[in-house]
């Protein structure tokens, strides 16, 4: 990856301060109405948002989320140990907590701490729990002096009362190149890990970013390449659909078309990469804006951002059980200050409907906005969740389905320092779907 093939991510690392970003960090806060959190019993889920902020300190950011089979929510995040008052933090710790519908958030635990993290707004830690009750997290650790020289590192907690232990990396190339943007999907006896892998950049030809996967059970198995040329710094997304893994990511062809692509497991192994939809977005640098995917009972929903035709658009598509994704729906579209900024997320809302969430631009600032999407390809009206701003430090919001609604976690970058916030969103706050 050269400076001409990617936009700067805005790295937070001791000794490295990268302040350039595709987003404007100085935009004024949004002007939409503030959320008025309600005080309710944990089991009472109304149509209005309920504040359930996680036990994170000031400056926390980069959340990763996972919904367990028993209705709980796991959250992992980064927080600084030093560097307030405008200074660059030099030490971080990786924290996690578990939310239950009856008890709320449990006391946070530190997984690992130190000064060698690659701590970043876009390439965030991830968390998952496998069928054996083991909780797995991923995080990024610096491997060399270059800005984007870092490894994916995995740590695991084998059960309640057990200590976290670092397992190592799912890749073994030992190149000082970028490895990150992880997705994790639990399956029988372990977790499938997917990541972007920059090992080819260490060759004389400075090869492109690749997409790889490995299974983590009792041991970390040897990895497999899924695509030999992909976008450099857009998040991946993955889901288990009828016991077969589906992976979405932003591809990159030699002509710099960077549309969302899909690879999936078949009875003959992994499929060849295919475009999820031909948007035709030609862009010379990575937009740091990957896809989202969610699956339930064989039904699969995807959401993504594209800037094709000089128009900012959030799209969504639905695949029925055993079928392929259909023609996409336009969730949001615009130009100028009101254009959607992307950073899409999707999660099950109720029965055969999901919520699609994205960061929407406003003349002054931004707002996290959502629409209900049905399995029949119908969209409800848009609803604003909470004000935001356009800064990269707003990061990516995270969604987890719970009974009767969603847990929505976001970094409130309007505060200085930023704060990690969470809302419990009842399904009743999302307008019902209408024919497209």
In this prediction, residue 83 has a pLDDT band, given cuts at 50, 70 and 90, of: low
Contact of 303 with 370, CB cutoff 8 Å: no
Q: What pLDDT, on a 0 to 100 scale, did the predictor assign at position 46?
A: 46
Q: Is pLDDT at 47 greater than 60 in this prediction? A: yes
Paired with 51 in beta bridges are: 423
Whether residue 269 lies inside any domain: the answer is: yes
Q: Mean pLDDT score of the chain, rounded to an integer?
A: 88
pLDDT digits (tens, 9 = 90+) for 339-361: 999 999 999 998 899 999 999 99
Q: What pLDDT, on a 0 to 100 scale, did the predictor assign at position 87?
A: 58
Task: Considering only residues 387 and 351, tell me which one the structure prediction assigns the higher pLDDT.
Answer: 387
Q: What pLDDT, on a 0 to 100 scale, did the predictor assign at position 160?
A: 92
Task: Considering only residues 352 and 195, tell me which one the structure prediction assigns the higher pLDDT.
Answer: 195
Whether residue 386 lies inside any domain: the answer is: no
Which CATH number characterizes residue 113's domain? 2.120.10
Whether residue 311 lies inside any domain: the answer is: yes
- Averaged pLDDT, 365-377: 94
Whether residue 2 lies inside any domain: the answer is: no
Residue range of the domain that includes 287: 11-39+64-341
Whether residue 376 lies inside any domain: the answer is: no
Whether residue 58 lies inside any domain: the answer is: no
pLDDT digits (tens, 9 = 90+) for 119-158: 999 999 999 999 999 999 999 999 999 999 999 999 999 9
In this prediction, residue 45 has a pLDDT band, given cuts at 50, 70 and 90, of: very low
Whether residue 270 lies inside any domain: the answer is: yes
In this prediction, residue 17 has a pLDDT band, given cuts at 50, 70 and 90, of: very low
Task: Please state the domain count of the chain.
Answer: 1
How far does Cα 338 stand from its chain's mean position? 23
Q: What pLDDT, on a 0 to 100 scale, did the predictor assign at position 119?
A: 93
Whether residue 188 lies inside any domain: the answer is: yes
């Amino acid at each position: 990856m050269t400076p001409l093939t990617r936009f700067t991510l805005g790295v937070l690392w001791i000794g490295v301060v990268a302040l350039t970003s595709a987003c404007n960090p100085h935009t004024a806060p949004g002007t939409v109405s503030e959320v008025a959190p309600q005080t309710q019993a944990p089991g009472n889920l109304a149509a209005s948002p309920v504040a359930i902020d996680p036990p994170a300190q000031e400056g926390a950011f980069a959340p990763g989320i996972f919904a367990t089979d028993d209705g709980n929510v796991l959250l992992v995040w980064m927080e600084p140990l030093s560097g307030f008052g405008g200074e660059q933090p030099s030490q971080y710790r990786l924290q996690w907590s578990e939310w239950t519908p009856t008890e709320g958030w449990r006391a946070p635990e530190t997984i690992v701490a130190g000064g060698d993290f690659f701590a970043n707004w876009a390439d965030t830690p991830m968390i998952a729990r496998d069928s054996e009750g083991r909780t797995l997290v991923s995080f990024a650790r610096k491997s060399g002096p270059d800005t984007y020289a870092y490894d994916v590192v995995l740590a695991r907690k084998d059960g309640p009362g057990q200590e976290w232990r670092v397992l190592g990396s799912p890749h073994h190339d030992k190149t000082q190149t970028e490895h990150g943007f992880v997705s994790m999907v639990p399956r029988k006896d372990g977790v499938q890990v997917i990541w972007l892998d920059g090992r080819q950049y260490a060759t004389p030809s400075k090869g492109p970013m690749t997409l790889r996967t490995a299974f983590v059970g009792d041991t970390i198995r040897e990895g497999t390449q899924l695509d030999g040329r992909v976008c450099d710094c857009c998040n991946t997304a993955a889901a288990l659909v009828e016991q077969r893994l589906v992976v979405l990511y932003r591809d990159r062809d030699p002509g710099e078309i960077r549309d969302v692509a899909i690879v999936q497991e078949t009875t003959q192994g992994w499929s060849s990469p295919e475009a999820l939809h031909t948007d035709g977005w030609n862009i010379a640098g990575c937009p740091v804006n990957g896809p989202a995917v969610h699956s339930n009972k064989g039904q699969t929903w995807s959401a993504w951002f594209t800037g094709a035709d000089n128009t900012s658009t959030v799209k969504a598509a639905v695949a029925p059980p055993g079928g392929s994704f259909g023609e996409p729906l336009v969730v949001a579209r615009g130009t100028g200050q009101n254009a959607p900024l992307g950073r899409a997320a999707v999660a099950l809302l109720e029965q055969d409907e999901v919520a699609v969430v994205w960061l929407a631009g406003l003349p002054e600032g931004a707002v996290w906005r959502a629409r209900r999407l049905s399995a029949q390809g119908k969209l409800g009206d848009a609803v604003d969740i909470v004000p935001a701003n356009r800064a990269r430090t707003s990061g990516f919001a995270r969604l987890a389905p719970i009974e009767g609604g969603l847990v929505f976690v976001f970094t409130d970058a309007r505060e200085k320092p930023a704060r990690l916030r969470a809302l419990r969103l009842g399904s009743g706050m999302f307008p019902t779907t209408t024919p497209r």
